[in-house]
Structure 1
């Protein structure tokens, strides 16, 4: 299943975490602007005042980009569903996943302010 949204999220970040919620990692000033823990991921995007960012999420390896991902890691998903949300906790996308831990790969088109983000789960 492939889903997309396009918006200028508050604070210019997206959260990726289990649908039941999780403790997210602390944010520091590094680039690329992706912060991860075993429970969740925060992805920085284009500054909200500069325009919208397209976030695409998929559970199919066929949708993976043919380049090295900006981020690759695992996230705990005990509920069997992973969500993409804003800092105001607005759920934008929800993808069902298999297993209590999900592989997450993320591609961005810019290290600090991408306006295109692709996340493949599984």
Structure 2
């Protein structure tokens, strides 16, 4: 599979990752660096007026990182899709995954305003 790359400057400083269209997203960044439920992961981003946040997304077999991830968990993916969206855009990137439960690992380069986000699935 190819590695997906995209950049975004979300107005509300976070991007959500889920398998389907949900609106009940975790948002309390005071308690966790990357808030999450079994159905949705909230990823912090750079403030929109400070520039883009750059995402690199791919299969875990294609993404190797020298440090432990900031987040490592299982996401329900009943539609066998990973969908990236924010408060204003219902879907700005998506990809297929082979299972209904998908291991997700996320690396960010800053705990509150990352400029670079790496997401490995599988």
TM-score by length of 1: 0.89
Matched with 1:22 is: 22
Equivalent residues, number = 121
Instruction: Give the 3 Å change call, closer, same or farther, for CA 29–17 of structure 1 in structure 2.
Output: closer
Where 1:22 maps in the other structure, the secondary structure is coil
Instruction: Give the 3 Å change call, closer, same or farther, for CA 76–29 of structure 1 in structure 2.
Output: closer
Quote the offset at 1:23 in angstroms: 5.3
Instruction: Give the 3 Å change call, closer, same or farther, for CA 23–9 of structure 1 in structure 2.
Output: closer
Alpha-carbon contact 1:17-1:77 (below 8 Å) kept: yes
Q: Which has the higher strand share?
A: 1
Matched with 1:67 is: 67
Matched with 1:7 is: 8
Where 1:88 maps in the other structure, the secondary structure is coil
Unaligned runs of 5+ in 2: none
Coordinate RMSD, CA, aligned: 1.7
Matched with 1:113 is: 113
Alpha-carbon contact 1:106-1:117 (below 8 Å) kept: yes
Mapped partners of 1:3, 1:93: distance in 2: 9
Matched with 2:77 is: 77
Matched with 1:55 is: 55
Mapped partners of 2:92, 2:64: distance in 1: 20
Matched with 2:87 is: 87
Matched with 2:37 is: 37
